[in-house]
Amino acid sequence: MDERHRRDLRSYGRRRGRKPSRRQVALIDQLLPDVVLSLSDPAATPLSKLFVVPVREVWLEIGFGGGEHLLWQAAQNPDVGLIGCEPFQDGVTKVLRGIEDGKIANVRLYADDARAVLRWLPEASLARAFILFPDPWPKKRHQKRRLVSVGLLRELARVMAAGAELRVATDIGDYARAMLQATHSEASFVWEPHGPGDWRQRPVDWPATRYEQKAIHEGRRCTYLSLRRR
């Protein structure tokens, strides 16, 4: 798994932004070790045992950014365990602050590339997964770095249970088309829209992220896809 992780094309940008504040350093040093996901240990069986509170199922968010969606889902679904993956340190510290302030006990974090987590997870262990506004890599020569691909869907198919939901969103039109093409090629997932609202509007249990709000403010149309694991 380590060798495959090293061979993965980087699908994200920066790891760090501004110099962390004292509180951010304290969160990383003191709180992160309590909630971090250790891939050096075998995955818990069942996966719900990862959490210190009882949970009925486990969800995964890949690239949670500023953590708005992850923290909202955790607060609204206290009986669900959420695994959040994000390599950008500023995003990790924002979620740590939210966990501390909200006394949230149903979140585990992995501050690195989510593909390593996908290879670690047991088969059919997830009931839902989210990939919301991944790095678009708009330049043609960089598009091979886009996260959502046939290969990623194949890895997700292994760890998602039959009937599980995969929610994906982007504000880049050609990326949305590429996502649907990947879905068509990886037949483990199905997209069954009933009308334009199914991809133009978020469901009520899908809160907006900071990046989405920025995209809308700048006039970009967002696409929301809800895929089902066959």
Q: Pick out the chain residues at pLDDT < 50.
A: 3, 5-6
- SS3 call for 137: coil
Q: How far is Cα 224 from Cα 216, in angstroms, rounded to an integer?
A: 13
Q: What is the pLDDT of residue 9?
A: 59
The pTM of the full predicted model, rounded to 2 decimals, is 0.92
Q: Is 55 helix (H, G, I), strand (E, B) or coil?
A: coil
CATH class of the domain at 2-229: alpha beta
**CA neighbours within 13 Å on the CB side: how many for 116?**
23
Contact indicator for 95, 64 with CB cutoff of 8 Å: yes
Cα 12 from Cα 99, distance rounded (Å): 24
- Integer CA distances (angstroms), 71 to 67, 125, 154, 160, 170, in order: 6, 21, 27, 21, 20
Pairing of strands 223-229, 160-170: antiparallel
Peptide bond into 46 cis (omega under 30): yes
Q: Where are the domains of the chain?
A: 2-229
* Catalytic hit among 135, 171, 174, 198: 135
Could you report the per-residue pLDDT of 151-165, keeping only the tens digit for each?
999 999 999 999 999
**Could you give the CA distance from residue 114 to residue 147 in angstroms, rounded to a whole number?**
10
- Measured between alpha carbons, how far is 181 from 149 in angstroms, rounded to an integer? 9
Burial 22-57 (b: 16+ CB within 10 A, else e): eebeebbeebbeebebebeeebeeebbebbeeebeb
Please state, in angstroms and rounded to a whole number, the distance separating the CA atoms of residues 54 and 40: 23
pLDDT in tens, 8-50: 555 555 556 577 888 888 999 999 999 999 999 999 999 999 9
Instruction: Decide if 135 is catalytic.
Output: yes
**The pLDDT of residue 56:** 98
Q: How far apart are CA 207 and CA 38, in angstroms?
A: 28
